[in-house]
Amino acid sequence: MKHIFLFLIILLSSQLAEAQQKFTDSLFKVQKPITRNYADKENEKLIVDLYQPENSQKDRPLIIFMHGGGFAGGSPRNPQEVKFANIAAAKEYTVGLISYSLKRQGIKTGFSCNYAASEKPETFKMAAEDFKDAVKFIKTNADKFQIDAEKIIVGGSSAGAEAVLNAVYNPDLMFPNSSKYADIKFSEVISLTGALVDSRYLGEDELVPGIFFHGTKDNLVPFTNSPHHFCDSNKPGYLMLDGSKTIVDRLKELDASYLFYSFDGAGYEISGMPFKYLPHELNFLSEVVFENTKIQSHIYK
């Protein structure tokens, strides 16, 4: 009788494990994060904090996330990002939260209407280079970190999203000589209130599925094609950018997958981590990245 009972317990546990889905359900404890130096630039050590599940498969998908802060502040150890990293790692992802050079830190003109428009793309470019260098470092050490180098999901919030989006969708503008990063391919991009320099450069070679969150009344990062920070045309910082709606329209035109949450009347607060919608976001990611399903979904909130 005892043996039968033990057999039933094992069978039930096996069925329960099968019912739970990899990459969407929390199946693992999370290791203490490890910190690695991915680059040294201008006497600054740039780091990645890696969050990994315990006792999981070796070839795990990788999520790399870049914090916001207007290229002047912020940290990869922001509590929201750390919470997200732990949630995703429990679902069998390896998550890298990266630091990058904050080129606008301590500059009185900030990164708004009094900062020369001609120099804004250069700021995007430098942050995009840091991002690509972090990806390259982790991919080079894929075996050590036990990741699947063909399953790289990337994301960012606000300034971090701008850097990531431009690196993924505008590489010809950001990297005139991109041979250094030729071996890096992305599976999906996640943007919390991000924008592109020019969505017209997004073509078949840059066709990466995207998840986007944006408020229709964002007064800093445009929702559609509008001036950065909504600067007047006579201001030094007047620069047109393509926001989430314009990027999604381009992805739709190219028949690529996307999940777009647009929040009617909402502003810049949408740049915060969308924990409420995380299950849907991870389901979309799983279906598109791992099952190669085509999904085009615009959710109005």
- For residue 206, the domain's CATH number is 3.40.50.1820
Residue 216 lies in a domain: yes
* Residue 57: predicted pLDDT: 77
| Cα three-residue angle 97-144-81, rounded to 5 degrees | 10
Residue 9 lies in a domain: no
The two tokens of residue 287 are 């279906």
At 259, the amino acid letter reads: L
Q: Please, are residues 218 and 191 in contact by the beta-carbon 8 Å criterion? A: no
Residue 131 lies in a domain: yes
pLDDT-flagged residues of the chain (< 70): 1-24, 26, 106-109
Task: Count CB atoms within 10 A of the CB of residue 167.
Answer: 28
Residue 11 lies in a domain: no
Residue 236 lies in a domain: yes
Residue 1 lies in a domain: no
Structural domain of residue 110, as residue ranges? 23-300
Residue 4 lies in a domain: no
Count of residues making up the chain: 301
1 Cβ neighbours under 8 A, 6+ residues apart: none
Residue 6 lies in a domain: no
Cα gap 223→47, rounded to integer Å: 31
How many folded domains does the chain comprise? 1
Cα gap 104→111, rounded to integer Å: 7
